[in-house]
Structure 1
Amino acid sequence: MISVVVPVYNEEEVIVATLNDIVAALDGFLEYEIILVNDGSTDASLEKVQAANIKNLSVINHIENLGYGKSLYDGILLAKYNCIAIIDGDGSYPASSIRELYKYYPQYDMIVGARKGKEYTKGLFKKYARYLFKYLAEYASGKKVPDINSGLRIFKKDIIINYHDSLCTGFSFTTTITLIFFLNHYFVKYLPIDYFKRKGESKVKPFKDTLRAGQIILEAILYYNPIKLFLLFATCNAGLGLFLWIINYFFLSSLVLTVTSALLIASFVPIFCLGMLADQLKKIYKLRRNESH
């Protein structure tokens, strides 16, 4: 039993083919449903889907564009089954991989398709942003994170619903749930998948959405594991202070740099103590929240 949620925004060129690929991938499942969420498309995406007569398909229609994450969450709420698969409607993910990911359900709480290939690694700005986000996620969780924002994954609905107040309504939805699962010690499995050139025009705004993703990652770490974020800031400050002190001692002999480096190094202790305080406040909040439930 599986519910597949497909967010769609102006994908008239490929959406019917994507849905047919999903149906083919689900052949052999005793029970399944496909939930398409049309997020205010201004092209003929909705009309083409309605005319295609796709088996076991339900459609949610947003009259305005509300965002990638909101579309996914609305589809998850409507889903009948606890096993949820999500896949983008742009043809960039192989629907056939859903069956491979499903082999590890329900032993794992989330199974993620880790993208590979030149389409995934191209783009200098996105490439280095991914490396930075990957480092932050791995630093915070202590686990390997091959792909932080893959749009093809299977997970348990009841877990996602439990963290609804932490979810993002935009393109960072998948980044958010990756961090939620890792930072709350759920079992996550990664499997390599192909990644193809998307059909049509991308809706991602690289600079704006990268900044937003960075904000989401820092907020998630601050919420679930604050001491690690404060420790990172404290270490960076102390490291910069030590670097300036060495430069100043051997080359410059500047009083301003001496004071600046000393302050940066000394800032390690108060920043780290703030992190410990934040961690204790988080534990108190979590305890009281559990008691109220």
Structure 2
Amino acid sequence: MSSAKLLSIILPAYNEAGVVGNVVKSLREAFPDAEILVVNDCSRDSTAEEAGMAGARVVSHQYNMGNGAAIKTGARQAAGDILVFMDADGQHSAENVRALLDKLDAGYDMAIGARDAGSQANRRRHVGNSLLNRLASLLTGHKIHDLTSGFRAAKANVFRQFLYLLPNGFSYPTTSTMAFLRSGYSVAFVPIKVRRRQGSSKISFLRDGIRFLVIIMKMTTLFSPMRVFFPLSMLFFILGTIRYIYFYWQTGGFSNMAGIMFMMSMLIFLIGLVSEQITALHYGMSHSDCTREED
């Protein structure tokens, strides 16, 4: 990474006493000139004290707001041109940070640490993440190797454009990845191995899995509505055609149900078309506003 750019390493932390101090020390040794910012999400233990003693700047929430809220606080408070986000539970190593920074030096806007199968918490989590990766790849048109990895580096000015979209919970990686890809920013995936986390995971497989799925659909309809509405429109059209052919073959008449399906197909297509135009106008205006601010 260019020495002219200040690096900020952001660690959201909630009840990570006994771990966060060692994580901060390893980062301080690897990146002595970087800003290390620990966002203490109102921990009930000595997380804040240990992080501060290890050499981090600590920002604390007054009450527990969630992992995504801690990420947003860190992004707003950080002084660096480059932001690195990593867990405070010891899963991510300082050595892997340089691989992400190399991708940014190569011209990418975001670099994400993609975990291999052996780095997943368990087989169920691996299967769930693989399904989410495939669905997101299909909807965005880009190959996504790890949608939910919280270990990533990004250009600060680009990342802050999407802070208003990020949820307060654990699904900020999903939202930021989808937002970057659908907005035309370049994203690189770097294969990494992660350590087993110390302590219990705060992510629920079922609850957060459903939440991730909803966010994928939400982000796709926000940035490219026709990728959702057009397949739905075609589905109703095909079902209507099948119903019409079957009913006509059986009775020689026209099926009212087929007519309803054709109408649904047309309505869904028109809704998608209007949504696509609204999206184009919205982000065209947003881009103009950003250009004026830079001027």
TM-score (norm 1): 0.85
Query: Structure 1 residues 231, 17: CA separation in 2 closer, same or farther (over 3 Å shift)?
Result: same
Which residues of 2 match residues 178-193 of structure 1 at below 5 A? 178-193=177-192
1:46, CA displacement in angstroms? 2.0
SS in 1 for 2:112: strand
Change (3 A) 1:39 1:165: same
Number of residues of Structure 1 aligned to a counterpart in Structure 2: 282
Is residue 2:109 matched to residue 1:118?
no
Q: 1:145-174 CA distances to partner (integer Å, 9 max, x unpaired)?
A: 001121111101111222222122111111
Does the Cα contact within 8 Å between 1:87 and 1:95 map onto a contact in 2?
no
2 CA distance for matches of 1:249 and 1:98?
Answer: 64
Q: 2:92 corresponds to which residue?
A: 93
Letter in 1 for 2:232: F
Secondary structure of the residue aligned to 1:7 is strand
SS of 1:113's partner is strand
Corresponding residue SS for 1:177: helix
- Does the 8 Å CA contact 1:26/1:99 hold for their aligned counterparts? no
Q: Tell me, what secondary structure is at the counterpart of 2:134?
A: helix
Aligned to 1:108: 108
Alpha-carbon separation, structure 2, partners of 1:47 and 1:266: 63
Instruction: Work out the percentage of aligned pairs sharing the same amino acid.
Output: 26
Q: Which amino acid aligns with 1:4?
A: I
Alignment TM-score, normalising by the size of structure 2: 0.85
Give the match for residue 159 of structure 1: 158
AA of the residue aligned to 1:70: A
Question: Are 1:267 and 2:264 an aligned pair?
Answer: yes
Kindly provide the amino acid, as one letter, of the partner of residue 46 in structure 2.
Answer: A
Q: Deviations over 1:47-69 (max 9, x none)?
A: 3223xx324x2100113111101
> Secondary structure of 2:120's partner?
helix
Query: Shift of residue 291 of structure 1?
Result: 4.8
- Are the counterparts in 1 of residues 41 and 63 from structure 2 also a CA contact under 8 Å? yes
Tell me the distance in 2 between the aligned counterparts of 1:165 and 1:79.
Answer: 17
* 8 Å CA contact 2:237, 2:262 repeated in 1: yes
* Alpha-carbon spacing, 1:273–1:77, altered in 2? closer, same or farther (3 Å): same
Q: Distance in 2 between matches of 1:3 and 1:169?
A: 21
Contact 1:21–1:96, Cα closer than 8 Å, also in 2: no
- 8 A contact 2:129–2:148 mirrored in 1: no
Give the 3 Å change call, closer, same or farther, for CA 236–200 of structure 1 in structure 2: farther
TM-align CA RMSD: 2.8
